[in-house]
């Protein structure tokens, strides 16, 4: 094997791994360069992995030290002099970051995402490599690379892309297994505690697998691993070709709302085994790990995946129709409260993810759209549009199946401008106008029209008062968000066009008084509740340590929620579309708001269990 990587736990208490790369029998220049990636596939932001790399040494047999010079933040040049033979590079990686994109090392386990761990020698990424993991006695190493042995733990990668695309975990976490659609799936849960029920996880994850299988007609897998790290908060997930790595709270499995989030992210990442890992834009494979890899199609990779994450949970029986529609209403609300939807298209948002999506700032919601959120809603609209135009004979399901057959199975990427043509080829529906308006353009998405194709009406709704309670008076709207600064309320977001913004308030302002009365962060809600739409308030605030004041005329708040309600007079076509789309009957759908699946009870085991940007 020309490339051999070894991972050794140098000091688990101090969060350090030692990585060794042996290179032999490879034709290289006299001064080859060692490179560490600056990003990891699936997470489109430049990261400073190299800040955790230290104590780099390069030696030639029988141990001669070779000079090494750093020539970029993530690149080292090796001076081999007259020698052109084998050499060994070794370095220490510090890892104490429980995220799916990085490295985490503790006395009880270590986890590594390949891009943060493994350097490559320029010109060798296409070569096969072997990986040895020297784990402490009694530890299990979990990795989806081809396993060669367990004593020691040895794995084989076809090339550097495969090495990086298979995170590894070493420790003694809980492991579950289930078989679905002929494929073995592992569920690894790492971390102390956890309020999960093993049987319930196996049952519900197997339903996700089966719903995905029914959509595509196959699973391009021999085996798959759900790798969960239990911590103190949700910190996201990252897709891989044959696995996913997800960080979530150890108590994420109860109550119901939290469990929904767990299953939503699980379904999202599993769907990526098709959409992104095998069906992807040309720009996303093979990868250039040294710079940004731009594409205008992330809305279709992430937004469409988010759309199907919810839809497949419905089709898997893990959501009632009503619960699915409620969650769609929540997405609509968030989208309509994003002023940036009028300024940035989905294509622009996809392209600019490297500078905005992962590092939002005070103007993000005002000037940009989330390609996850709007991408999901555009996918919904496109799906219903296709069903309507073809009398329910074709849908977005057909588009995804075509993309799998034409691109995923053939191992080729989708050209940047090919998506509308593929939709038309799969369905026979002309969609250039749709894409011009809603993907490359910023025209408002006419959701009421598209939803009516499935017999649904979009309505604003306020939460009704409890029994015996009076209807609360309307509270004036500011269009501001705040954070605590000592005991003061500091503005963090001023929405474009909102009363607060029109009056002149801006992020960083610290509100200290309303109409001359002292205001604290803890008293914010009560103080605001005293003012109605149309009231004018004298606001005193500190701006860069200088006391200032201005008058704000409050507006009417946007609807508290948006709901999707079945119409009372659906046409036969609308009934048919709704039934095929959600795999339900109109009678079940029209009981939205009345039905609650037994799985909505926290901790309900077994069949019928419900669940989950």
Q: Which of 427, 312, 314, 439 is nearest to 381 (CA)?
A: 439
Ramachandran angles phi, psi of 296, nearest 5°:
-95, 15
Show me where the domains of the chain are located: 3-171, 173-269, 274-456+576-595, 476-556
- The CA-atom distances, in angstroms, between 9 and each of 13, 95, 190 are 10, 11, 18
Counted residue by residue, the chain has a size of 613
Which CATH architecture group holds 173-269?
A: Orthogonal Bundle (1.10)
Q: Residue 193 class from Cβ within 10 Å (0-12 exposed, 13-18 middle, 19+ buried)?
A: exposed
pLDDT tens readout for residues 467-524: 666 777 899 999 999 999 999 999 999 999 999 999 999 999 999 999 999 999 999 9
Under 8 Å between Cβ of 564 and 325: yes
- The CA-atom distances, in angstroms, between 569 and each of 420, 455, 573, 586 are 33, 8, 11, 11
Domain over 3-171 is classified CATH 2.60.40.3650: yes
- Decide if 173-269 and 476-556 have a common fold: no
Q: How far apart are CA 516 and CA 533, in angstroms?
A: 20
pLDDT for the residue 465: 66
Residue burial 66-102, b: 16+ Cβ < 10 Å; e: rest = bebeeeeebbbbbebeeeeeebbbbbbbbbebbbbbb
CATH topology for 274-456+576-595 is Neutral Protease; domain 2 (1.10.390)
pTM: 0.94
Q: How far apart are CA 343 and CA 495, in angstroms?
A: 13
- The CA-atom distances, in angstroms, between 424 and each of 61, 420, 427, 553 are 60, 6, 5, 50
pLDDT for the residue 356: 87
Positive or negative: CA dihedral 12, 18, 19, 25: negative
pLDDT tens readout for residues 523-556: 999 999 999 999 999 999 999 999 999 999 999 9
DSSP letter for each residue of 46-66: ---GGGGEEEEEEEETTTEE-
Which CATH architecture group holds 476-556?
A: Roll (2.30)
Q: How far apart are CA 242 and CA 262, in angstroms?
A: 19
pLDDT tens readout for residues 62-107: 889 999 999 999 999 999 866 568 999 999 999 999 999 999 999 9
Listed in sequence order, the residues at least 6 apart from 577 whose beta carbon sits closer than 8 Å to its beta carbon are 384, 387, 388, 392, 453, 454, 455
411 pLDDT exceeds 90? yes
Q: Residue 230 class from Cβ within 10 Å (0-12 exposed, 13-18 middle, 19+ buried)?
A: buried
User: Per-residue confidence at 598, pLDDT binned at 50, 70, 90?
Assistant: very low
């Amino acid at each position: 094997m020309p490339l051999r990587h070894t991972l050794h736990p140098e000091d688990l208490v101090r969060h350090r791994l030692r990585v060794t790369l042996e290179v032999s029998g490879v034709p290289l220049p006299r001064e080859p360069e060692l490179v560490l990636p600056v990003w990891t596939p699936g997470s489109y932001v430049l990261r400073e992995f190299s800040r955790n790399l230290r104590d780099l040494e390069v030696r030639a047999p029988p141990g001669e030290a070779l000079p090494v010079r750093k020539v970029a933040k993530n690149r080292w040049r090796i001076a081999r002099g007259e020698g052109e033979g084998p050499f060994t590079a070794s370095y220490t990686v510090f890892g104490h970051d429980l995220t799916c994109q990085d490295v985490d090392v503790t006395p009880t386990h270590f986890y590594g995402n390949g891009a943060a761990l493994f350097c490559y020698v320029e010109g060798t990424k296409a070569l096969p490599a072997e990986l040895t993991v020297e784990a402490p006695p009694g530890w299990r190493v979990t990795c989806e690379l081809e396993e060669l042995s367990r004593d020691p733990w040895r794995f084989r990668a076809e090339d550097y892309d495969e090495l990086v695309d298979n995170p590894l975990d070493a420790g003694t976490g809980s492991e579950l297994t289930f078989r679905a659609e002929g494929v073995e799936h592992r569920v690894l849960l790492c971390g102390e505690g956890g309020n999960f029920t093993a049987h319930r996880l196996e049952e519900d994850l197997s339903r996700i697998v089966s719903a995905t299988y029914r959509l595509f007609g196959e699973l391009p897998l021999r085996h798959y691993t759900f790798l969960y790290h239990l911590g103190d908060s949700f910190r996201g997930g990252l897709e891989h070709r044959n696995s996913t790595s997800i960080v979530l709270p150890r108590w994420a499995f109860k109550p119901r709302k939290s469990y929904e989030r767990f299953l939503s992210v699980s379904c999202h990442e599993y769907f990526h085994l098709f959409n992104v890992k095998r069906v992807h834009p040309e720009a996303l494979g093979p990868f250039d790990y040294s710079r940004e890899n731009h594409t205008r199609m992330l809305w279709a990779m992430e937004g469409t995946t988010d759309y199907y994450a919810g839809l497949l949970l419905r089709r898997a029986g893990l959501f009632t129709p009503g619960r699915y529609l409620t969650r769609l209403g929540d997405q609509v609300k968030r989208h309509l409260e994003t002023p940036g939807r009028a300024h940035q298209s989905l294509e622009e948002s996809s392209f600019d993810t490297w500078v905005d999506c992962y590092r939002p700032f005070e103007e993000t919601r005002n000037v940009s759209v989330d390609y996850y959120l709007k991408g999901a809603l555009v996918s919904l609209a496109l799906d219903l549009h296709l069903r309507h135009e073809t009398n329910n004979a074709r849908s977005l399901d057909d588009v995804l199946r075509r993309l799998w057959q034409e691109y995923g199975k053939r191992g080729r990427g989708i050209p940047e401008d090919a998506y509308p043509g593929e939709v038309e080829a799969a369905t026979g529906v002309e969609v250039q106008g749709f894409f011009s308006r809603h993907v490359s353009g910023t025209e408002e998405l006419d959701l009421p029209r598209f939803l009516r194709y499935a017999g649904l009406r979009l309505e604003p709704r306020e939460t009704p008062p409890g029994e015996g309670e009076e209807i609360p008076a309307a509270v004036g709207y500011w269009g501001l968000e705040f954070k605590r600064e000592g005991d003061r309320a500091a503005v963090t977001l001023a929405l474009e066009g909102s009363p607060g913004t029109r009056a002149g308030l801006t992020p960083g302002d610290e509100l200290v008084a309303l109409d001359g009365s002292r205001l604290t962060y803890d008293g914010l809600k009560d103080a605001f509740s005293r003012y109605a739409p149309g009231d004018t308030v004298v606001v005193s605030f500190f701006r860069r340590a200088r006391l200032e004041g201005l008058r704000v005329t409050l507006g009417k708040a946007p609807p508290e929620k948006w709901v999707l309600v079945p119409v009372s007079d659906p046409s036969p076509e609308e009934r048919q579309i709704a039934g095929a789309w959600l795999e339900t009957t109109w009678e079940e759908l029209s009981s939205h708001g009345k039905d609650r699946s037994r799985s909505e009870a926290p901790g309900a085991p077994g069949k019928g269990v419900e669940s989950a940007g």
